[in-house]
Amino acid sequence: MDQRAILDHEFRVAAYIVTWVIQLSYLAWLGYRWRAQEKRGPGTRD
Amino acid sequence: MKKLLIGLYAGITILLMIWGYYQAIYVAPNDAMQGEIFRIIYYHVPSAAVAFVFFAISLAGSIGFLAYRQNAPDKAQIADAWALAGAEVGVVFCTVVLITGPIWGRRAWGIWWTWDARLTTTLVLWLIYVSYLLLRRFAAGPQMQTLAAVLGIFGALDVPIVYMSNRWWRTQHPAPVFGGGQGSGMDPSMLPAFFWNMGAWFAWGMFILILRFVIERQQQRIAAAEAQAALEA
């Protein structure tokens, strides 16, 4: 691979990693909130 | 049964994500001009589409809240939970758009950012909905939900402006790939990867949107129970 192709590859990988870090971090935060609510109060769900 | 359905949906979503990734990396060809960097489009464009749809859900929830708040408080609270869930998950996807776009731009244009109409209106959209979330997080009192609903409606007005920006004005951002008139479109060999990823990101988005909605409804019940307990104390 030439230098340009290597850089293209690295930027593409960076974009995909950033996407997944954001999405999975948000999912983890939702999971944390869910667990915190389970401890805090019962209530019925939709 | 409910847990089984949730597990089934989560499983299908994960399979779709894996299949979408496989299509984007191993099946779709490199773009003739841009090479591999073009493959960012398979995450960037679906994220923008999901953000737009979720901001529309937030708009519907905000209108619903304002419509029901006097006569049907329970329905108003459900609408408000949809408004919040749509705005918050929409901001997550919009954040992805605003980060993956400049990563692509740095290689394609040689710059991370430019103040053209598409990029600027997208940043404004993100800022409006971040303001909406900050209002909900830090404001208190009975008018908070009403104020948030009004801001949510104004925020959604920016969505069609973002969508039309590279049709109305000349922009550094590429011209529309779909629905952009003569010469627009994508090579047929790239379409399966594009649509599989579109489906996968919508499935993922719906999963976290519904999860966020359920959490907010639970939060509303806890807040109502605590208020009731405080009144009875």
Give the confidence band of B181 by pLDDT, cuts at 50, 70, 90. Answer: confident
> Residue B17 and residue B208: Cα distance in Å, rounded?
14
CB contact under 8 A, A18 and B107: no
Give me the mean pLDDT over the B131-158 stretch: 92
Position B13 in a domain: no
- Partner-chain residue, chosen from B99, B217, B221, that has the shortest CB–CB distance to A18: B99
Instruction: Find, among B186, B27, B41, the residue nearest to A16 by Cα.
Output: B41
Chain A positions contacting chain B at CB under 8 Å are 4-5, 7-9, 11-12, 14-16, 18-19, 22-23, 26-27, 30, 33-34, 37, 40-41, 43-46
Position B182 in a domain: no
B220 touches chain A (CB under 8 A): no
Domain that holds residue B65: 41-172+189-232
Position B177 in a domain: no
B95 touches chain A (CB under 8 A): yes
CA angle B24/A30/B123 to nearest 5° reads 60
Give B122: exposed, middle or buried? Use CB within 10 Å, 0-12, 13-18, 19+. Answer: buried
Total domain count for chain B? 1
For residue B31, what are the β-bridge partners? B35
Position B50 in a domain: yes
Q: How far is CA B101 from CA A9, A15, B53, B56, in A?
A: 15, 9, 19, 22
Min distance B73 CA to chain A CA atoms (Å) = 16
Give the confidence band of A31 by pLDDT, cuts at 50, 70, 90. Answer: very high
Position B153 in a domain: yes
Position B28 in a domain: no
Give the confidence band of A43 by pLDDT, cuts at 50, 70, 90. Answer: low
Contact B132, B153 (CB under 8 A): no
Give the confidence band of B156 by pLDDT, cuts at 50, 70, 90. Answer: very high
Percentage of chain B exceeding pLDDT 90: 76
Position B5 in a domain: no
Position B125 in a domain: yes
- Partner-chain residue, chosen from A4, A5, A15, that has the shortest CB–CB distance to B104: A15
Give me the mean pLDDT over the B19-34 stretch: 90
As a whole number, the mean pLDDT across chain A is: 88
Residue B86 has pLDDT above 50, yes or no: yes
Give me the mean pLDDT over the B197-221 stretch: 95
pTM, whole model, 2 decimals? 0.93
CB contact under 8 A, B96 and A41: no
CB contact under 8 A, A5 and B36: yes
Give me the mean pLDDT over the B81-107 stretch: 97
